Amino acid sequence: MKNIFGEPLQGCCSNPMTGFYRDGFCRTSDEDFGKHTVCAIMTEDFLAFSKQRGNDLSTSRPEYGFVGLKSGDKWCLCASRWKEAFDAGKAPLVVLEATSEETLDIIQMQDLISHAYKEIQPQNG
């Protein structure tokens, strides 16, 4: 499993547990028609956009073991949904190291980089 930089894919999130295989990684296979390969950080704006497009990610669905997402949660998004949101100006930030290389079949590298999540490093001093 490689990320968009050709390095080992990092985990996206285990709380809530994400990924097509619900193993915390944004990895895919031929079984995953949606290509859940983009590790994104949810925003209210994106969640509303996704719900408007028919994919309600914010409502709990206990029958599927899904708690519902809130702003700040990390989640493996379908690459095509992220691109749709990007084109509409609603794309969430992306954890590049946890985004699978297969994403590059659908989204251009520079578009992902333009939405890179950067962790704030504590300053010494």
Look-up of token digits 């333009």: 114
In this prediction, residue 54 carries a pLDDT of 92
- DSSP output for 19-76: TTTTSS-----TT-TT-EEEEEE--HHHHHHHHHTT---SS-BGGGTB----TT-EEE
Q: What's the pLDDT at 110?
A: 97
Q: What are phi and psi of 44, to 5 degrees?
A: -60, -40
Closest C-alpha to 56, from 44, 66, 45, 47: 47
| DSSP β-ladder status, 93-94 and 36-41 | antiparallel
Within 10 A of 58 (CB to CB), how many other CB atoms are there? Answer: 16
Model confidence pLDDT, tens digit, residues 18-47:
999 999 999 999 999 889 999 999 999 999
**Confidence label for 124 from pLDDT (cuts 50, 70 and 90):** low
In this prediction the pTM is: 0.91
Where residue 85 falls (left for φ over 0; alpha for ψ -120 to 50; beta otherwise) is alpha
Q: What is the pLDDT of residues 72-109, one digit of tens each?
A: 999 999 999 999 999 999 999 999 999 999 999 999 99
* pLDDT at 69 exceeding the cut of 90: yes
| pLDDT of 66 | 84
Residue 65 banded pLDDT, cuts 50, 70, 90: confident
Single-letter residue type at 51: K
